[in-house]
Amino acid sequence: MPAVSVDRRRAFPGGGPVPPPATRAAGGRGWILLVLGTLLAAVALLNAMIGAVPLPAEVVVASLAERVGISLEAAVTDQQAAVLWAIRLPRIALAGVVGAALALCGAVMQGIFRNPLAEPGIIGVSSGAALGAVVAILAGGSFTGGYLAAFSIPLAAFVGALVATTAVYLTARHEGRTEVVTLVLCGIAVSAIAGAGVGLAQFVADDDELRSIVFWTLGSVSGARWRDLLVILPLVVVGSAVAIRLAAALNLLVLGEREARYLGVSTEQVRLTLIVVCALVTGAAVAVAGIVGFVGLVVPHLVRLAMGPDHELLLPASTLAGAALLLLADLAARTVAAPAELPLGVVTALIGGPFFFWLLRRARRDQGAWG
């Protein structure tokens, strides 16, 4: 046995001791974010190019430039422009924003709960949203329905997310304070109740409804339209701005609630703000894309492993990395089995799960900490 484990260690790509993350330096931070931003742009470009109608890079760039009034050499046909602007770009934008939202909320939740296994779903957001969506589907909405139906499901999901989170937070509150363990347990209870509701709905649903429910719970950004972005983009932008402003306080919260208070943080206020932000942002993301697992859990870990746990860097970096990762996952979802499409949630879980194993083992070994 020992010999085997030694071999396995060697087999890890990039194994061996990782130098501890250096102390934060403003220059270094800007540089990392620049790299991630470039990576995100590259992945987005890749997503725009690949598909049933291949679009060369120069066509994509030329068409984008045309919109902002710069005329380039490359000729763009009407068909190419239509594919790009009506199909690819909305989907890219939506996948990016959803990925950013989930990763940001994952990082924030792991900080608030001082627990690297936390994810947005822990406060009941996902299960509440699922119940809301399922109720809307049963009530007559459907992904293939009309304009009203298209909005009724996201709206119901959003409301469900908020109701569940509020219920969790209020039941966990005691004498003006909230204990983390109580919060997690209340989250589990609410998730169980919502899960039962979803199960019951699946039980009474007819075949079409069942299909819609399953489709929704597996997550997808297919059929994205620009107007979906109107729902989610403002929330994600404002939410990440608020969260990043509170990043320093979040660092102190990770040290412990009392420690944070001793260091001058109004802990209850900071935590309530961040939970509300996460509920809104995750709720919006789940509402437009269904349940996309693992992004919120894995991305912050990945970022922490690369650049340390300082939230002032972790939050913006997770936002960018989450967007890039979900774009890659969506690219895989629509190309691997083309012309069929895999559910996005299945792809993220399939890639994320094994990767997470590796990440955990490596982090445990090198840093003596989960993450």
Partner 1 sequence: MTSLIADRVSYHIGARALVDDVSLTIHPGRLHAVVGPNGAGKTTLLRLLTGDLEPDTGEVRLGDRPLQQWRPREAARQRAVLSQQVVLQFAFTVTQVVEMGRAPYRDRDTPAEVARAVAEALAATDIAHLANRSYPTLSGGERRRADLARVLAQHTPVVLLDEPTAALDVHHQDLVLTVARKLADRGGCAVVAVLHDLNLAAAYADRIAVLADGQLRADAPPSEALDAELLSEVYRHRMVVIEDPVHGGPLVLPSRGRSHLPVPSEQGTMAPERGGPDRCLTRADRWGRVVRADDSARRVDEASMGSAR
Q: How far apart, in whole angstroms, are the C-alpha atoms of residue 246 and residue 154?
A: 28
Give min distance, CB of 139 to partner 1, in A: 43
Compare residues 225 and 365 and give the one whose CB is closer to partner 1. 365
Per CB under 8 A, the list member of 119, 209, 228, 310 interacting with partner 1 is 310
Taking CB under 8 A as the criterion, which residues in 108-127 touch partner 1? 114-116
Q: Considering beta carbons, is residue 55 or 249 the nearer one to partner 1?
A: 249
In angstroms, what is the minimal distance from the CB of 255 to partner 1?
A: 6
What tokens does 160 get?
Answer: 């469900």
Mark 256-295 with x for binding to partner 1 (rule: CB under 8 A) and - for no binding: x-xx-xxxxxx-----------------------------
List the x/- string, 53-92, binding to partner 1 by CB under 8 A. ----------------------------------------
CA distance 227 to 280: 18
Among 304, 319, 327, 347, binds partner 1 (CB under 8 A): 304
Kindly write out the interface string for residues 201-230 of this chain, putting x where it contacts partner 1 by CB under 8 A and - elsewhere.
Answer: ------------------------------
Angstrom distance (rounded) from CA 254 to CA 75: 54
Judged by CB under 8 A, which of 1, 3, 11, 22 binds partner 1? 22
* Of 118 and 286, CB closest to partner 1: 118
Each residue 225-254 as x (binds partner 1 by CB under 8 A) or -, in order, gives: -----------------------x--xx-x
Question: How many positions of this chain bind partner 1 (CB under 8 A)?
Answer: 32
Are 120 and 299 in contact, with CB atoms under 8 Å apart? no
Give me the amino acid identity at 128.
G
Q: In sequence order, what DSSP letters do the residues of 197-260 get, joined into one string?
A: HHHHHHHH--HHHHHHHHHHHH---TT--HHHHHHHHHHHHHHHHHHHHTHHHHHHHHH-HHHH
Measured CA to CA, the distance from residue 171 to residue 184 in angstroms comes to 11
Instruction: Please state whether beta strands 173-174 and 177-178 pair in parallel, antiparallel, or not at all (unpaired).
Output: antiparallel
Whole-number Å distance between alpha carbons of 364 and 350: 22
Tell whether residue 368 is a contact of partner 1 (CB under 8 A).
yes
CB 277 within 8 A of CB 243: yes
Tell me which of 173, 308, 332, 350 binds partner 1, using CB under 8 A.
Answer: 308
Other C-beta atoms lying within 10 Å of the C-beta of residue 126 = 29
CB of 268 to partner 1, least distance (A): 10
Sequence-ordered list of residues with C-beta below 8 angstroms from that of 221, at least 6 positions apart, any chain? 91, 94, 95, 98, 288, 289, 330, 344
Q: What angle do CA 300, 347, 208 make, to 5 degrees?
A: 125
- Distance, in Å, from the CA atom of 262 to the CA atom of 239, rounded to the nearest integer, reads 27
Examine residue 20 and tell whether it contacts partner 1 (CB under 8 A): yes
Q: Which is nearer to partner 1, 194 or 265 (CB)?
A: 265
Our finding on whether 177 is near partner 1 (CB under 8 A) is no
User: Six-digit token pair at 282?
Assistant: 């995750």
Asked if 32 touches partner 1 (CB under 8 A), the answer is no
Q: How far is the CB of 248 from partner 1 (least distance, A)?
A: 7
Shortest CB 303 distance to partner 1, Å:
12
Least gap, CB of 137 to partner 1 (angstroms): 39
Q: What is the largest CA-CA distance in the chain?
A: 67
Closer residue to partner 1, CB minimum distance, 264 or 339? 264
- Does residue 21 belong to the site contacting partner 1 (CB under 8 A)? yes
Cis link prior to 339 (omega < 30° from 0)?
Answer: yes
Q: Which stretch binds partner 1 (CB under 8 A): 22-30, 31-39, 46-54, 98-106?
A: 22-30
Residues that bind partner 1 (CB under 8 A): 20-24, 114-116, 248, 251-252, 254-256, 258-259, 261-266, 304, 308-310, 363, 367-371
